[in-house]
């Protein structure tokens, strides 16, 4: 009886190891292709986003001039812009997209704060800086193409078995890009 149990356990181990190897061999190429496509579709977004976030630097300057330099929102924006400046020189598309989404969220909050404050609404420099940021457009076709590619990548890395291979091989999730609307 003991010999039968040992052979059964050994057979199960062989089946699990073989299945894992087959899974990795079949799933990895698709994940590699999808991850490369995400990085490839992100590259054309870097230049227009750099222009956009350069204009957001003008918003920080205007907020500081208006006396809001010590506010949490301004500090958060300065920190996120600093992160963007460091990340834009890397090839880390996932963190670049996360930081871009963070900057877009902060820009929306600043726009709402400025429009709700009589003092900030009357500040011509801040109004011009926000208008300059809003005018720095990113081509919607590039955003749509990137987001579609990310969604395809995420579909292919989802699921219990594919997720195991994705996590083992370091295929991290990528966020879609969500631009703030004026």
Q: Is residue 84 situated within a structural domain?
A: yes
Asked whether residue 95 is domain-assigned, the answer is yes
Work out how many domains the chain is built from and give that number.
1
Q: For residue 131, tell me if it sits in a domain.
A: yes
C-alpha to C-alpha distance for 166 and 24, rounded to whole angstroms: 9
In a domain, 159, yes or no: no
On whether residue 91 sits in a domain, the answer given is: yes
Residue 62 belongs to a domain: yes
- Digits of tens for pLDDT over the chain (182 positions)? 677 888 887 778 777 777 666 666 666 666 778 888 999 999 999 999 999 999 999 999 999 998 888 899 999 999 999 999 999 889 899 999 999 999 999 999 999 999 998 888 888 999 999 999 999 999 999 999 999 999 988 888 776 666 676 666 667 888 999 987 76
- Residue 7 resides in a domain: no
pTM for this entry: 0.82
> Does 112 fall in a domain?
yes
* Domain carrying residue 53: 45-138
């Amino acid at each position: 009886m003991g010999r039968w149990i040992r052979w059964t356990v050994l057979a199960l181990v062989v089946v699990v190891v073989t299945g894992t190897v087959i899974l990795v061999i079949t799933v990895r190429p698709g994940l590699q292709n999808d991850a490369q496509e995400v990085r490839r579709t992100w590259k054309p977004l870097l230049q227009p986003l750099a222009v956009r976030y350069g204009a957001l630097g003008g918003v920080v300057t205007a907020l500081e001039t208006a006396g809001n330099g010590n506010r949490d929102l301004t500090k958060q924006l300065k920190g996120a812009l600093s992160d963007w400046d460091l990340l834009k020189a890397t090839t880390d598309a996932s963190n670049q997209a996360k930081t871009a989404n963070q900057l877009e969220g902060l820009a929306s909050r600043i726009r709402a704060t400025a429009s709700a404050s009589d003092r900030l609404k009357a500040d011509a420099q801040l109004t011009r800086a926000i208008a300059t940021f809003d005018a720095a457009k990113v081509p919607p076709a590039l955003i749509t193409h990137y987001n579609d590619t990310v969604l395809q990548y995420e579909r292919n890395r989802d699921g219990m078995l594919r997720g195991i291979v994705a996590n083992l091989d370091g295929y991290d999730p990528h966020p879609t890009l969500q631009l703030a609307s004026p």
